[in-house]
Amino acid sequence: MKRLMPLLIVLASTLAVTAAFAQGAPSKGLALTPPMGWNTWNKFGCNVSEDLVKGAADAMVSSGMKDAGYQYIVIDDCWQVKRDEHANIVPDPQRFPNGIKAVADYVHSKGLKFGIYSDAGTKTCAGRPAGLGHEYQDALMYASWGVDYLKYDWCNTLPGQDAKASYRNIRQALDASGRPIVLSICEWGGRQPWLWGEEVGGNLWRTTGDIQDHWAGHHKWPDGSCCSNGVLDIVDQNEPLYSAAGPGHWNDPDMLEVGNGGMTNTEYRAHLSLWAIMAAPLIAGNDIRSMSPEIREILTNKEVIAVDQDPLGQQGRRVWKDGDLEVWSKQLQDGSRAVLLLNRGSSQATVTATWEQIGYPAHLSASVRDLWAHKDLGKSSGKFSAPVESHGVVVVTVKP
């Protein structure tokens, strides 16, 4: 019987694929705006548990994050310890004593969605059992647990393994499970997933290396290995790829570091604002159970989040730069523009956005609203100027 199990799984999977695609793939229509949620990795690494995930679900509701649009609670690496005699993936019994389905059920009971992590190679980045050769079997297991979101990494892959084919395979496996599951392609940009991610059914794809909690510059990881990227480095890698993004398929410049302590609140406001103007997924990575009121206010700014979640789905881009000063613009569904003034420099400076830069006639009169001050600034003609503090942003909407 043990020898028959893999064959039976393949046969069942093949039948499921045929049925799923005859009915239309379950993944159609997912992530029409950039996914919003929380992930364990940036703050907790491998220190994951049932209690942590349930506590995060509670906090997402009580903090106002759910009300602001966050919905996915995602367990990253290290939840899994082995495969059983039937090659089924096994959660850590000490950390998840009631299994993953019980955790997913709890998350769902809060009106939230549940996500999990695996990898396209032989082992995950932390050396745990990964998905290569078990894609359909794992997808059926994830569906039975109630998984809504899968982050699929690219560690420990085989020499010559084809990323496009690997991610197409896991998408087909997820669809064959019959459950709508968002696919987060965590291939860190080396194989240019923005060129093929939509084609293979990815809903978001990493465009950069891993983020770390710094404003700028490359920093070594605590174990001495090299290197992660500061916020500005990641912004500069992600910005030119704006044409690849749209409803259902997003450029992913990695998760948020807001609230993890390595930057100032001014820098965290800029971090969230830049992700919003780039229509990036907003996946918080701090301890949302114990965040300060200031960090909560940053993460739950509904006006800035609305820029990210605008249904037109256009990724904003840099339209002017002079040294450390920049203007960014994002067209919104109602024809207005979200405009971000960025000051990368070490002292306050005035930044001006002209209407021509953001795609309007110079003579136009338009209403301006400051999204961090939550204040209407009246009408402006031709341009808008504001003082911007060091490492800060001013974010406005400009509406004719």
* Mean pLDDT of the 150-167 span: 98
Does 171 lie in the same domain as 55? Answer: yes
Indicate the range of 3-12, 46-55, 208-217 predicted with least confidence.
Answer: 3-12
d(CA 368, CA 387): 15
Among all residues, which ones are annotated catalytic? 153, 210
d(CA 163, CA 314): 26
Is 372 part of a structural domain of the chain? yes
pLDDT bin (cut points 50, 70, 90) of residue 217 is confident
pLDDT bin (cut points 50, 70, 90) of residue 16 is very low
Quick count: other Cβ atoms within 10 Å of Cβ 7? 9
- What is the tens place of the pLDDT at every residue in 349-385? 999 999 999 999 999 999 999 999 999 999 999 999 9
The Cβ-side half-sphere exposure at 59, using a 13 Å CA radius, reads: 21
Is 106 part of a structural domain of the chain? yes
Q: Which of 308, 326, 361 is where one domain is finished?
A: 308
Q: What's the DSSP call for residue 243?
A: G
Does 364 lie in the same domain as 231? Answer: no
CA distances for 352 relative to 136, 339, 400, angstroms: 53, 10, 18
pLDDT bin (cut points 50, 70, 90) of residue 222 is low
User: If you average pLDDT over every residue of the chain, what do you get?
Assistant: 94
Best CA proximity match to 104, nearest among 44, 38, 57, 170: 57
pLDDT bin (cut points 50, 70, 90) of residue 22 is very low
pTM above 0.85, yes or no: yes
CA distances for 26 relative to 12, 162, 364, angstroms: 17, 24, 45
Q: What is the CATH number of the domain that holds 203?
A: 3.20.20.70
pLDDT bin (cut points 50, 70, 90) of residue 12 is very low
Tokens for 168?
A: 């197409």
- What is the tens place of the pLDDT at every residue in 257-282? 999 999 999 999 999 999 999 999 99
d(CA 242, CA 250): 9
d(CA 131, CA 196): 21
**Contact yes or no for 39/113 (Cβ under 8 A):** no
Is 2 part of a structural domain of the chain? no
Does 346 lie in the same domain as 231? Answer: no
What pLDDT shows up at residue 25?
A: 86
Quick count: other Cβ atoms within 10 Å of Cβ 199? 11
- Domain count for the chain, please give it: 2
Does 343 lie in the same domain as 275? Answer: no
Q: Which of 264, 284, 308 is where one domain is finished?
A: 308
Does 302 lie in the same domain as 214? Answer: yes
Does 187 lie in the same domain as 53? Answer: yes
What pLDDT shows up at residue 5?
A: 47
- What is the tens place of the pLDDT at every residue in 84-105? 999 999 999 999 999 999 999 9
Is 1 part of a structural domain of the chain? no
CA distances for 172 relative to 18, 63, 149, 183, angstroms: 10, 36, 14, 11
d(CA 342, CA 245): 22
Does 389 lie in the same domain as 301? Answer: no
Q: Which of 308, 339, 357 is where one domain is finished?
A: 308
The angle that helices 4-23 and 135-145 make with each other, rounded to 10 degrees, is 70
pLDDT bin (cut points 50, 70, 90) of residue 226 is low
d(CA 208, CA 148): 24
Q: What is the CATH number of the domain that holds 324?
A: 2.60.40.1180
d(CA 283, CA 254): 8
Does 273 lie in the same domain as 170? Answer: yes
Q: Which residues contact 44 (CB under 8 A, 6 or more apart)?
A: 52, 287
Does 376 lie in the same domain as 300? Answer: no
What pLDDT shows up at residue 20?
A: 43
Inform me whether the pLDDT recorded for 340 exceeds 60. yes
d(CA 255, CA 99): 26
Does 332 lie in the same domain as 379? Answer: yes
Does 209 lie in the same domain as 96? Answer: yes
Inform me whether the pLDDT recorded for 227 exceeds 70. no
Best CA proximity match to 184, nearest among 139, 151, 142: 151
**Phi-psi category of residue 152: left, alpha or beta, with phi > 0 → left and psi -120 to 50 → alpha:** beta
Is 225 part of a structural domain of the chain? yes
Best CA proximity match to 79, nearest among 102, 59, 60, 62: 102
Q: Which helix (H) or strand (E) holds 156?
A: none
* Mean pLDDT of the 169-181 span: 98
**Nearest-10 Cα torsion for 130, 132, 137, 140:** 70
**Contact yes or no for 202/171 (Cβ under 8 A):** yes
Q: Please give the residue range of the domain that contains residue 151.
A: 7-308
Tokens for 68?
A: 């602001």
Is 237 part of a structural domain of the chain? yes
Is 15 part of a structural domain of the chain? yes
Is 251 part of a structural domain of the chain? yes
* Mean pLDDT of the 302-326 span: 98
In the sheet where 325-331 sits, what is the strand order? Answer: 317-322, 325-331, 337-343, 392-399, 365-370, 375-381
**Contact yes or no for 341/386 (Cβ under 8 A):** yes
Does 240 lie in the same domain as 109? Answer: yes
Percent of the chain with pLDDT over 70: 91
d(CA 333, CA 172): 32
* Mean pLDDT of the 59-76 span: 98
* Mean pLDDT of the 332-343 span: 98
